[in-house]
Structure 1
Amino acid sequence: MKVMVFVKATQDSETGVMPSEQLLTEMGQYNEELARAGILLAAEGFHPSSKGVRVHFSGTDRTVTQGPFTPAQELVAGYWLWQVNSMSEAVAWVKRCPNPMPGDSEIEIRPVFEAEDFGEVLTPALREQEDRIRAQLETQQQQ
């Protein structure tokens, strides 16, 4: 199963406080462990929400709002994408993670939808389209 692992933002991350060299070192070692275990698919951190925008949809209308957004603990500061055997395996890996922020912090784990989760609404034509998109992305990533 694929899971998205969200590192929740804090007041520090939202004000642009950068991680220490020690934390970067610890996270680098942790990411290497994830990669060696074959579960790490992607990992990135985000700039504060003050550098972001939100687009609100209402019918055909679109409204763009510039950051920052609040409250900080509702925001995401970074993520991992993992391929694991179970949610309990993902939880076990998160428990091994260095604290990603100075002070208290929170990590959220969410399963990623798989094609099978959509049942009959994912028609053969939609499944073919999904397969083409995935193949195209793989080709682009190899270049």
Structure 2
Amino acid sequence: MRFMMLVIPKGYESAPPGTAPDAKAVEAMMKYNEALQKAGVLLALDGLHPPSMGARVSFSGGKPTVTEGPFPEAKEVLGGYWMIRVNSKQEAIDWASRSPMADNEIIEIRQVQEMEDFPPDVQKAAQGLPEMQKGSPGRSERDADCAERGDPEP
């Protein structure tokens, strides 16, 4: 089973552009990330820039409306995530409980929907999704190019 462990740092909703964690927090988090990796459960992980650097696209009447961050009405926002593969929700909880979070942080655990979780008509409608989930052609080249330029993301 795959689970996302979503980091919700309180106060991040109003963080200014360029906000970054301190080096000691990152050092502790890297030890935790290495433990996930050594256990063979880590699939992906990323931190997210604050909402002040983002945008939201909402829809009404079939038309998109773009709102630039920050989003004053937001009470909780994501600061990052881990994608892990474990055997149960309890195992995901156990891993989340070991993370070196600060007093103002929360980890929300959500199981990822798998194709077999859906009824046959939904599986048929989503035909081709597994190939899409593997990534588009050239993704690894884009990732390597971004890393070479020092860009944080593709």
* Alignment TM-score, normalising by the size of structure 2: 0.79
For residues 4-19 of structure 1, the aligned pairs below 5 Å read: 4-11=4-11, 14-16=14-16, 17-19=19-21
The structural deviation recorded for 1:138 is: 7.7
The runs of 5 or more residues in structure 2 that have no matched partner are: 142-154
Kindly state the Cα deviation for residue 125 of structure 1 after the two structures are TM-superposed: 6.5
Alpha-carbon distance between aligned partners in 2 of 1:126 and 1:15, rounded to the nearest angstrom:
38
Shift of 1:20: 1.9
Question: Which is richer in helix?
Answer: 1
Which digits, 9 at most, give the CA deviation of each residue in 1:73-124, with x for residues without a partner? 411111111111100000000111001x4x3211100111100111122344
Any conservation in 1 of the 2:32–2:99 contact (CA below 8 Å)? yes
Give the alignment's Cα RMSD to 1 decimal. Answer: 2.2
Instruction: Please say which of residues 117-126 and 49-58 is displaced more in the overlay.
Output: 117-126
> Which residue number corresponds to residue 130 of structure 1?
129
What's 2:77 paired with?
75
Is residue 8–residue 73 contact of structure 1 (8 Å, CA) maintained in 2? no
Secondary structure (helix, strand or coil) at the match of 1:32 reads: helix
**Equivalent pairs, count:** 139
Taking only the aligned residue pairs, the percentage that are identical comes to: 38
Q: Which runs of 5+ in 1 are unaligned?
A: none
Q: Tell me by how many angstroms 1:58 deviates.
A: 1.8
Which one-letter code corresponds to 2:116 in the other structure?
E
1:37 aligned to 36, 39, 43, which one? Answer: 39
> CA 1:13–1:33 in structure 2 vs 1: closer, same or farther (change >3 Å)?
farther
Task: Report 1 or 2 for greater relative contact order, CA contacts < 8 Å, sequence distance ≥ 6.
Answer: 1
Structure-1-length-normalised TM-score: 0.84
